[in-house]
Structure 1
């Protein structure tokens, strides 16, 4: 009997030890020991002074304080995003090198550079969402058009005569314009610009008929009285500009033109490190200083998991693929 009791007790102790080991392992996974133990570098595909760059720097400052480590921001604009992508591609998947991209880098590049066979989310994995920005449809302040219905009517009356500008082939402004044409059965002429500031100067001067634009990129021309907003390409009006109707309210299709900005990492990042970065970025974004900046730019805070970022990018990719095929849009 003593032998049986002893055996039973021993099995109970071993079982408890096994449970403790599993729980201990889970605790280690949940809280990666020592991360980050050295400075973290975040490369960005955006130029210094841009909206995404401004957000990244303030979020990076918050992360640096929380982590007690330096968070370095390295700007690598140009090349359709490939300059920044190439700077991070092949780096260790350890959380010490991250990359800031937007939804078009995730979803449009495979359709714009088909011969490269590059799919962003096969090389990188989503880590955290920073923000989403809506786009306004802008015309010159003295434009005769008062509604989106007026723009569509003019495009139908003279196919190919109405022009719209954007900050480059494959940009949200370009692809949003292509979607507007597809949804309304119109044909308009796309005029790409190299500089966003020049784009809205041209819209204000009437050199191009209209353009999509985010609030931070177009607010200079708007505040100077050079352009007007006919609509916001979103499901609902913006709290910052409640007087501006949605596309549908302004007589156009219910178009939702937006771009979201994220942090990604080389694939293979340990789940515990990814989860820590995700949680800490969410805390930084929720900070009052960051939210104040977001409110100024009408940036939207999103509670997306890494998996949801992937799903949203896939949804955009389907739309962009259709648009690129329709007009044979390419950057090659």
Structure 2
């Protein structure tokens, strides 16, 4: 058989090359569709084994109690065990480090508050850690407003009384919080800035001790939520002067807003709590978990507990959580600079 001519050999090579290119192009076009189908299928099947929720909050705390309630509802909804792992301490980094090492498959989620999302990067600058670059918010659990709390037996009957004393005291009036960089601390900086005052911050590790000291008059005041302060309040030792929210709370209709009580108009101090996942969770799975958490939070039993504590439910998508965290980040960055606050 005669050897193929150079032209025929050239045409054969070109034909083989075109076939290979066509195959590669087809595979490239099919890959996203296959990946999307796989992600969609994993979202439909999720979960097919137990799910772990890691929290930086201590057992018995308000966020921990909420997580356990929601976890119980999710367990029934998913027909899978939902485990709660408390890893408090280290400014939240113990829990963060445990969660950032796991696969982005939805089977390990991390509870974070808005301060973990928005304040940590400013409080730990040398670490170079930006929460939203490592984790994606998946679902919001609740938002809580904070109230100015003083001793029921003390001299402060209105917020105007407290602010007036702070202005006259020139940095000696004390307020407490549950930690440096906490909403109670940053909220104090925020009130100082808004009222042109300077006060002395005292950090506590134990919330019970904090409000016990406010109730006894050893501290002038502190920010408080209903669940964190209700024991001392019900004992008749605390007075709520004002709530830092747009309107009065139905649970405490006699407590004015900060603006109504003689403080700056529209003044707000609050914190929201979310579930987050390591970067890489598929959009389909993130949407499913978001919807399932919303169903759990809407359960009548959970809703009743939220109402008792003035916890606000929020119809936030993951994208809205990010937007709200970015808004808080700008506020916290300015407050951290103002107070020269650092946890390093």
TM-score (norm. length: structure 1):
0.91
- Give the aligned partner of residue 240 of structure 1: 251
Task: State which structure, 1 or 2, has the greater radius of gyration over its C-alpha atoms.
Answer: 2
Query: Structure 1 unaligned runs (5+)?
Result: 1-20
Equivalent of residue 87 in structure 2, options 67, 72, 76: 76
- Give the aligned partner of residue 305 of structure 2: 293
Q: Where does structure 1 differ by over 3 angstroms across 4 or more consecutive aligned residues? A: 25-28
Equivalent of residue 275 in structure 1, options 287, 311, 317: 287
C-alpha separation in 1, matches of 2:201 and 2:210: 12
C-alpha separation in 1, matches of 2:135 and 2:39: 24
C-alpha separation in 1, matches of 2:320 and 2:39: 25
**How large is the RMSD of aligned CA atoms in angstroms?**
1.8
Q: 1:27 to 1:123 in 2, by over 3 A?
A: closer
Q: 1:90 to 1:119 in 2, by over 3 A?
A: same
Q: CA deviation at 1:147?
A: 1.1
Do the aligned residues in 1 keep the contact of 2:39 with 2:285 (CA within 8 Å)?
A: no
- Does residue 277 of structure 2 align to residue 265 of structure 1? yes
Do the aligned residues in 2 keep the contact of 1:31 with 1:276 (CA within 8 Å)?
A: no
C-alpha separation in 2, matches of 1:250 and 1:27: 56
Q: Please show how residues 168-187 of structure 1 align to structure 2 within 5 Å.
A: 168-187=179-198
- Once the two structures are overlaid, the 10-residue window that deviates more, 303-312 or 139-148, is 139-148
Do the aligned residues in 2 keep the contact of 1:134 with 1:233 (CA within 8 Å)?
A: yes
Q: CA deviation at 1:158?
A: 1.7
What is the number of equivalent residue pairs in this alignment? 313
Q: CA deviation at 1:73?
A: 0.5
Q: CA deviation at 1:33?
A: 3.4
Q: 1:218 to 1:271 in 2, by over 3 A?
A: same
C-alpha separation in 1, matches of 2:133 and 2:65: 28
- Does residue 105 of structure 2 align to residue 94 of structure 1? yes
- Give the aligned partner of residue 52 of structure 2: 41
Measured against aligned partners, the alpha-carbon deviations of 1:196-224 in whole angstroms (never above 9, x if no partner) come to 00000000111110000110000111000
Q: 1:28 to 1:122 in 2, by over 3 A?
A: closer
- Give the aligned partner of residue 142 of structure 2: 131
- Once the two structures are overlaid, the 10-residue window that deviates more, 143-152 or 36-45, is 143-152
- Give the aligned partner of residue 228 of structure 2: 217
Equivalent of residue 314 in structure 1, options 318, 326, 331: 326
- Does residue 213 of structure 2 align to residue 202 of structure 1? yes
Q: Please show how residues 244-259 of structure 1 align to structure 2 within 5 Å.
A: 244-253=255-264, 254-259=266-271
- Give the aligned partner of residue 77 of structure 2: 66
Measured against aligned partners, the alpha-carbon deviations of 1:171-192 in whole angstroms (never above 9, x if no partner) come to 0000000000011111000011
- Give the aligned partner of residue 335 of structure 2: 323
Q: CA deviation at 1:322?
A: 0.2
Equivalent of residue 40 in structure 2, options 29, 35, 44: 29
Q: CA deviation at 1:29?
A: 2.7
Do the aligned residues in 2 keep the contact of 1:236 with 1:246 (CA within 8 Å)?
A: yes
C-alpha separation in 2, matches of 1:106 and 1:260: 10
C-alpha separation in 1, matches of 2:267 and 2:187: 8
Give the 3-state SS of the residue equivalent to 2:214 in structure 1: helix
C-alpha separation in 1, matches of 2:109 and 2:261: 41
C-alpha separation in 2, matches of 1:32 and 1:117: 33
